[in-house]
Amino acid sequence: MMAPVDAFRTVDRLRIEAEGLCVDYNGTVALYDAGLCLKSGCICGLVGMNGAGKSTLFKALMGFIRPSRGIIRINGLPVAKAQREQAVAYVPQSEGIDCSFPVSVWDVVMMGRYGSMNLLRIPRESDRAAVRHALERVELLDLRDRPIGSLSGGQRKRTFLARAIAQRASVLLLDEPFNGVDVRTEKLMAQLFLQFRDEGRTILISTHDLSHVRDFCDLVVLINKTVLAYGETSEVFTPENIAMTFGGLPPNLITGPASSEELD
Amino acid sequence: MNALLAMSTPMSWLMERLLEPLSHGFMVRALCVSALVGGVCGLLSCYMTLKGWALMGDAVSHAVLPGVVVAYALALPFSLGAFVFGVGSVALIGFVKQKSRVKEDAVIGLVFTGFFALGLVLASRTRSNIDLFHILFGNVLGISVADIQQTLLISTIVVVILVLLRRDLMLFCFDPTHARSIGINTGLLHYLLLSVLSLAAVAGLQTVGIILVVAMLVTPGATAYLLTDRFDRMTWLAILSSVVSSLLGVYISYWSDSSTAGCIVLVQTGLFLIAFLFAPRYGIFKSRSLPAMTASKD
Taking only the tens place, the pLDDT of each residue in B22-33 is: 999 999 999 999
pLDDT in the model for residue A239: 84
pLDDT in the model for residue B207: 84
A215 and A207 Cβ atoms separated by less than 8 Å: no
Mean pLDDT of A88-92: 91
CA triple B2-B7-B8, angle to 5 deg: 100
* Contact check, Cβ <8 Å, B182/A114: yes
- pLDDT band per the 50, 70, 90 thresholds, residue B5: low
* Contact check, Cβ <8 Å, B296/A151: yes
pLDDT at A205 over 90: yes
Q: Mean pLDDT over all residues of chain B?
A: 89
* Contact check, Cβ <8 Å, B230/A153: no
- Look at the alpha carbons of B168, B172, B175, B178 in this order and tell me if their dihedral is positive or negative: positive
pLDDT at B262 over 90: yes
**Structure-model confidence comparison of residues A215 and B188, the more confident one:** B188
- Per-residue pLDDT of A33-58, as tens digits, reads 999 999 999 999 999 888 888 889 99
Cα A67 from Cα A30, distance rounded (Å)? 10
**Structure-model confidence comparison of residues A263 and A201, the more confident one:** A201
pLDDT in the model for residue A263: 39
Q: What percentage of chain A exceeds 70 in pLDDT?
A: 89
Q: Does the beta carbon of A153 lie under 8 angstroms from any beta carbon of chain B? A: yes
**Among A121-125, A127-131, A248-252, B41-45, whose mean pLDDT is lowest?**
A248-252
Q: Compare all CA atoms of chain B with the CA of A100 and give the residue at the minimum distance.
A: B229
Cα A155 from Cα B152, distance rounded (Å)? 46
pLDDT at B9 over 90: no
Fold of B32-211: ABC transporter involved in vitamin B12 uptake, BtuC (1.10.3470)
CA triple B2-B7-B10, angle to 5 deg: 125
pLDDT in the model for residue B196: 93
Q: Compare all CA atoms of chain B with the CA of A2 and give the residue at the minimum distance.
A: B182
Of A83, A102, A163, the CB nearest to B234: A102
* Contact check, Cβ <8 Å, A97/B175: yes
pLDDT at A3 over 60: no
β-bridge mates for residue A173, sequence order: A90, A204
Q: Which DSSP category does A102 fall into?
A: S
Domains plus CATH for chain A? 13-87+170-184+201-256 (3.40.50.300), 93-168 (no CATH)
Most distant CA atoms of chain A, gap in Å: 55
pLDDT in the model for residue B12: 86
B79 and B154 Cβ atoms separated by less than 8 Å: yes
Q: Provide the ipTM.
A: 0.86
* Contact check, Cβ <8 Å, A97/B174: yes
User: Of the segments B9-18, B245-254, B288-297, which one has the largest average pLDDT value?
Assistant: B245-254
pLDDT at A207 over 80: yes
Exposed/middle/buried for residue B144 (C-beta within 10 Å: 0-12, 13-18, 19+): exposed
Tell me the pairing of strands A202-207 and A171-175: parallel
